[in-house]
Amino acid sequence: MQQSINYRIIFHIDMNSFYASCEQANNKDLIGKPVVVAHNDVFRKSIILTASYEARKYGIKTTMMVRDAIKLCNDLIVIEPNFELYQHYSQVFFDYLRTISNKLEVTSIDEGYMDLTDVCQKVNALELANTIQQTLLNKYQLPCSIGIAPNKFLAKMASDMKKPLGITVLRKREIESLLWPLPIGSMYGVGKKTAPRLQEIGIHTIGDIHGVNHDKLREVVGKSMLEYLLNRSKGIDDSEVDYYSFDSVSSISNSHTFDYNLLNVKTMKDTLKVLNNSVSARLTSKNLVANTIGIQIKYGDFKLINRSKGLVQPINDSLEMWNIVEELFDEHYDWVSEVRLVGVFATRLSDESSDLKQISIFDDFDKLNKEEHVSNVLNKINEMYKNKIINIGINNKKGE
């Protein structure tokens, strides 16, 4: 009989260059080549969403403009985003992880935490991590990095230490030697806006947090962030792996964590559109409609807001949902702060067949007829090809 353990074993699994990896998995001719995912407009002013590691060797980074990236690599392959493809591979990724354990917290389209304390009483944690990594790579052509630690924060930091295809164990006794020498800007939770303010008072590494006056630090970052910095720099994180959050039948949600804190409103809205379409597609596939639509915004300082709108008539149509999502974003985003994560959620779900659409006397009947005609045409096309290959486009009214 194996002896039980009295500490947690948390995995953070993070896909490497996810969008680019999906394109390479879908088209073997792209493997080993410098690939970026971005809208390839005429003036090439679009922002790169993801760069493959082959492209990164040229100094090409996420959020760089396409035209600047091409100057660094003449052979750069620019691919239009295919979010249906990325959602497919995300589902493959998480479905595989659930064969190992249901204690899985999905944090974005390409990363999640697993509490494998029970599983690792029967199998070595490093051997399991290697199996996960090699299966995702060899069977699905999806590279990932894995961090193993006694809590979520340390697991997240560990997964960032070796990319691509790294496996890192970060124990509490190694915090001073492995965590403290890292630049303060690399600390999970410290954004581009906070890092310079910390550097101004002498905090250049994570270990420097313990060498400054805490009253002065509180003046710079506030009480809650002070507690966060002190606890996390000591490896303290009591947050649980929330493996119930995405399993509830009462809600459907999707979120995305940006590689960097963003101030670009267009990129935020483009991402929200993708998430909105994903949630709409999942509702439709399950024949569900939502009575509440909401958004989530996590700022660079880790302040998190959730805002939602209750509906008189439940919906699952992506265009109707987007009108609400954009309205919520325009109303509740502060328009000055950097954003780390955005999300879309639908709650108070019900069976679509039980909710007949009611038309108000204030509705535009011509517009309704046109939208219904377009939806019917798209549904027939998608049904013909046995796949949801076409979505209704959405025109930005603000933040262009």
How would you class 152 by CB atoms within 10 Å of its CB: exposed for 0-12, middle for 13-18, buried for 19 or more? buried
- Going by C-alpha positions, the residue among 92, 243, 234 that lies closest to residue 154 is 234
Q: Say if CB 113 and CB 105 are below 8 A apart.
A: yes
The dihedral of CA 95, 112, 323, 88: what is its sign? negative
**Which residues make beta-bridge pairs with 351?**
288
Hey, which residues are catalytic here?
111
Residues 6+ apart with CB under 8 A from 83: 274, 277, 278
- 242: three-class secondary structure by DSSP: coil
116 touches 8 (CB < 8 A): no
CA 7 – CA 116 distance, rounded (Å): 11
Give the C-alpha separation, 117 to 120, whole Å: 5
Distance between CA 229 and CA 190 in Å, rounded?
9
Q: What are phi and psi of 258, to 5 degrees?
A: -75, 150
Place of tokens 């879908």: 26
Cα torsion at 254, 188, 239, 232 (round to 10°)? Answer: -170
> How many whole angstroms separate alpha carbon 183 and alpha carbon 161?
12
Please list the helix, strand and coil fractions of the chain in percent, rounded to the nearest 5, in that order: 40, 20, 35
What are 295's strand-pairing partners?
Answer: 307, 344
Q: Are 291 and 251 in contact (CB under 8 A)?
A: no
Tell me how far apart the alpha carbons of residues 138 and 131 are, in angstroms, rounded to a whole number. 10
DSSP 154-182: HHHHHHTTSTTT-EEE--GGGIIIIITTS
**Residues 42, 382, 251, 287, Cα dihedral to 10°:** 160
